[in-house]
Amino acid sequence: MRSYYIAGNWKMHKTISESIALATVLKGKLAACGEKVLVAPAFTALAVVAEVLKGSKIHLGAQNMGCEEQGAHTGEVSVLMLKDIGVTAVILGHSERRHSYLESDDLINRKVLLALKHGIEPILCVGETLEERDAGKLEVVIGTQLREGLKGVDGAALRNVTIAYEPVWAIGTGKTATPEDADAVHAYIRTVLSGLYGEAASKAICIQYGGSVKADNVAALMAKPNIDGALVGGASLKVDAFAPIALFR
């Protein structure tokens, strides 16, 4: 049976007490969930959520991280700090970071390599804007983000990488890519990865879909052969929205 990887990205939401409350209820509701589930709270709530999740199967992720181990980087959070808290995965290259904070493929690549060096699993996000899609540039954009983002990652390290395909036009807009559209892009991602790492690696890698995933569309998305999980934003903020996604089957 396939296993799915369902991640909740809480973005810049939830105070410490709100994060504790959400994680506590999720821990109970998802105790018997058969999928791999991750939550990515804000940095300020990571340590308390780590405490809440002790003894549960829910993984703890960060939403970003600095590109150096430590040093004079005002405002950044280091991989060592994340590791210290018990974070096991980190979302990198989210389109909000790429577009609003001008993160380049090169910067994202440095973060990917650093996370892997320290045993933290990167969820590398890729995705095109509507303008890029309409201009027929989808494959160039996704191919470049993959090739540049994974530069220097060898085949063994790739096993610890998850890719998240998130069409920018579907994030937080309520517009989901159709399962067919999403699956086609996931298949293209496998083609690119097959060229870089071989067919076996391209088949084995987990590719999440993200962009307005909800309880009522998750099953149709997950039924597609190339979609291995979901990266959920808005619907991860409420138990009643996220639990049915993680428990979709």
172 belongs to the binding site for ligand PGA (CB under 6 A)? yes
9 belongs to the binding site for ligand PGA (CB under 6 A)? yes
The angle formed by the CA atoms of residues 22, 34 and 200, to the nearest 5 degrees, is: 120
Closest among 225, 214, 158 to 6, alpha carbons compared? 214
Q: How far apart (Å, rounded) are the C-alpha atoms in residues 214 and 142?
A: 24
Q: How far apart (Å, rounded) are the C-alpha atoms in residues 113 and 235?
A: 30
Nearer to ligand PGA, 49 or 197 (CB): 49
229 belongs to the binding site for ligand PGA (CB under 6 A)? no
CB of 154 to ligand PGA, least distance (A): 27
State yes or no: is 128 an active-site residue. Answer: no
The angle formed by the CA atoms of residues 227, 229 and 231, to the nearest 5 degrees, is: 120
Contact 245, 214 (CB under 8 A): yes
Which positions from 34 through 63 interact with ligand PGA, judged by CB under 6 A? none
Query: Which range of residues in 17-25, 39-47, 59-67, 164-172 is near ligand PGA by CB under 6 A?
Result: 164-172
Which of the residues 35, 94, 103, 121 is marked catalytic? Answer: 94
232 belongs to the binding site for ligand PGA (CB under 6 A)? yes
State yes or no: is 59 an active-site residue. Answer: no
User: Rounded to the nearest 5°, which phi and psi values hold at 115?
Assistant: -60, -45
What positions carry a catalytic annotation?
Answer: 94, 166
Residues that bind ligand PGA (CB under 6 A): 9, 166, 171-172, 210-213, 231-235
